């Protein structure tokens, strides 16, 4: 066994560890609003997220290609492929370590930004400042500000609308039956566009944007018609109290949470498996191409890691995002889901490397602020923000330490 084979086998373990942390932190916080609003229990969230993330990762994941360096560094600027292999392994270990620390302290961080920071770290040491795409890094810094504020604003608006036109009205069951199908239609519209623009399967269809809009609009109209039947069957008694309204939105929120779990498995598995695929390519070809095929066995490894991660440690981050920032109900949780999903969709199409974690937390804060500043626990929020700001530099520094040590061991 030569050094290339050794690093490939070690990278499988490191990739599984990264996928484990992805499930425990990133995936868990996307299910947190549904758990916090009691639309589903922690056990149900773990079951749903494990199955749907595995399915998303294996069947809708990066079957064709995965961008290895995520555009953060230029691999061609590093002449020795062995250095890139060692660096990718160091980046995986560093990012996984940081996300694990955040998970054990019950705080949500972005695994995407962790791996980006870690790759930047070894890139700086291996190839110098010129190897890093600083414009891309600037976009990431901008996303720290844009994504949470945009999600908070959308969630604030949606929950305020639900309160004004449903919860504050005298006949709020009648109002819920009128507005809920419209929200269902809007949700399906977003889900459809998100599927077409955010998942590898949707992107593979190569639809023109006008066709995509027509397809999404068709789904929206169809779902509005179905929603009218669906909602009238959930609440039969017009005199039922606010629980009837919450029950309608509870059903809707289960649907949005399932979609989030599926799409997250499809999109985020590359954070764990992309560097493994890079190491696999170098071990096999002794060179790194800009993109590489990701074998199905690696996607299965990533899907399993995500499922095990959310099963064992997912409850920690779910508790923080779902109940410690503000109190969530089903109407508030629904507003959070739509705020986060809309932000990820819009920002991604603008080319911003937006984090689902940041959008989800921003949405929770938005619905909290709709009830006033006292409804938000700013001590928890400030701790979360501190971790967000620290993610890239800490992942980069840890990656540098691992890289220098491994380089010394391999080249001495």
pLDDT digits 0-9 by tens, 47-83: 888 887 777 777 665 543 445 455 678 777 777 888 8
Predicted confidence (pLDDT) at residue 104 exceeds the cutoff of 90: yes
Give yes or no for residue 199 having a pLDDT over 70: no
- The mean of the pLDDT values for the chain is 82
Q: Report the pLDDT value the prediction gives residue 289, as an integer from 0 to 100.
A: 65
**String of b and e for 75-108 (b: at least 16 CB within 10 Å)?**
beebeebbbbbbbbbbbbbbbbbbbbebbeebbb
Q: Please say if the pLDDT value at position 305 is more than 50.
A: yes
245's CB contacts (< 8 A; 6+ apart) are: 166, 167, 172, 173, 176, 235, 331
194 against 189, higher pLDDT: 189
Check residue 267 and give its pLDDT: 65
- Confirm if 80 and 3 have CB atoms less than 8 A apart: no
Give 390's pLDDT tier (boundaries 50, 70, 90).
very high
C-alpha dist (Å) from residue 283 to 34, 84, 107, 216: 43, 11, 36, 43
CA atoms within 13 A on the CB side of 29: 30
Mean local confidence (pLDDT), 386-410: 93
Express each pLDDT in 220-275 by its tens digit.
999 899 888 888 777 666 667 777 788 888 888 887 777 767 666 666 777 777 78
pTM: 0.84
Element (H, E) at 66: strand 66-67
Q: How confident is the model at residue 96 (pLDDT cuts 50, 70, 90)?
A: very high
Domain extent listing, the chain: 3-411
Lowest mean pLDDT among 122-131, 272-281, 370-379, 383-392: 272-281
pLDDT for the residue numbered 157: 92
Asked if residues 22 and 311 have their Cβ atoms less than 8 Å apart, the reply is no
Supply the pLDDT for residue 65: 41
Task: Please determine, for residue 338, whether its predicted confidence score (pLDDT) is greater than 90.
Answer: no
Assign 374 a pLDDT band (cuts: 50, 70, 90). confident
Is 407:83 a contact under the CB 8 Å cutoff? Answer: yes
Check residue 395 and give its pLDDT. Answer: 95
């Amino acid at each position: 066994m030569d050094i290339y084979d050794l690093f490939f086998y070690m990278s499988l373990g490191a990739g599984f560890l990264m996928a484990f942390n992805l499930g425990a932190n990133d995936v868990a916080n996307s299910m947190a609003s549904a758990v916090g609003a009691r639309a589903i229990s922690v056990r149900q969230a773990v079951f749903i997220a494990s199955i749907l993330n595995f399915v998303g990762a294996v069947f809708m994941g990066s079957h064709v290609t995965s961008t290895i360096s995520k555009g953060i560094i230029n691999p061609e600027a590093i002449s020795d492929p062995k250095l890139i292999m060692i660096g990718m392994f160091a980046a995986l270990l560093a990012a996984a370590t940081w996300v694990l620390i955040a998970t054990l302290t019950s705080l949500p961080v972005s695994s995407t930004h962790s791996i980006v920071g870690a790759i930047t770290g070894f890139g700086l040491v291996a190839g110098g400042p010129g190897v890093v795409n600083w414009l891309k890094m600037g976009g990431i810094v901008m996303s720290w500000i844009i994504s949470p504020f945009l999600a908070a604003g959308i969630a604030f608006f949606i929950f305020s609308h639900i309160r004004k036109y449903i919860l504050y009205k005298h006949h709020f069951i009648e109002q819920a039956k009128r507005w809920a199908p419209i929200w269902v239609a809007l949700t399906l519209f977003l889900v459809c566009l998100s599927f077409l623009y955010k998942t590898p399967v949707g992107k593979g269809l190569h639809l023109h944007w006008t066709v995509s809009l027509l397809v999404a609009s068709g789904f929206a109209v169809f779902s509005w018609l179905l929603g009218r039947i669906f909602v009238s069957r959930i609440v039969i008694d017009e005199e039922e109290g606010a629980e009837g309204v919450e029950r309608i939105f509870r059903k809707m929120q289960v649907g949005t949470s399932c979609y989030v779990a599926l799409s997250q498995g499809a999109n985020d598995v590359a954070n764990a498996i992309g560097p493994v695929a890079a190491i696999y390519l170098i071990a096999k070809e002794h060179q790194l191409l800009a993109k590489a095929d990701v074998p199905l066995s690696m996607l299965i490894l990533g899907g399993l890691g995500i499922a095990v991660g959310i099963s064992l440690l997912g409850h920690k981050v779910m508790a923080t995002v779902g109940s410690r920032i503000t109190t969530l109900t089903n109407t508030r949780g629904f507003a959070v889901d739509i705020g986060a999903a809309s932000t990820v969709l819009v920002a991604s199409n603008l080319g911003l490397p937006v984090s689902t974690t940041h959008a989800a937390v921003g949405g929770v804060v938005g619905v909290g602020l709709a009830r006033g500043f006292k409804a938000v626990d700013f001590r928890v929020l400030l701790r979360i923000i501190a971790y967000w700001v620290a993610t890239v530099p800490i992942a980069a520094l840890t990656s540098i330490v691992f890289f220098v040590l491994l380089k010394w061991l391999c080249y001495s």
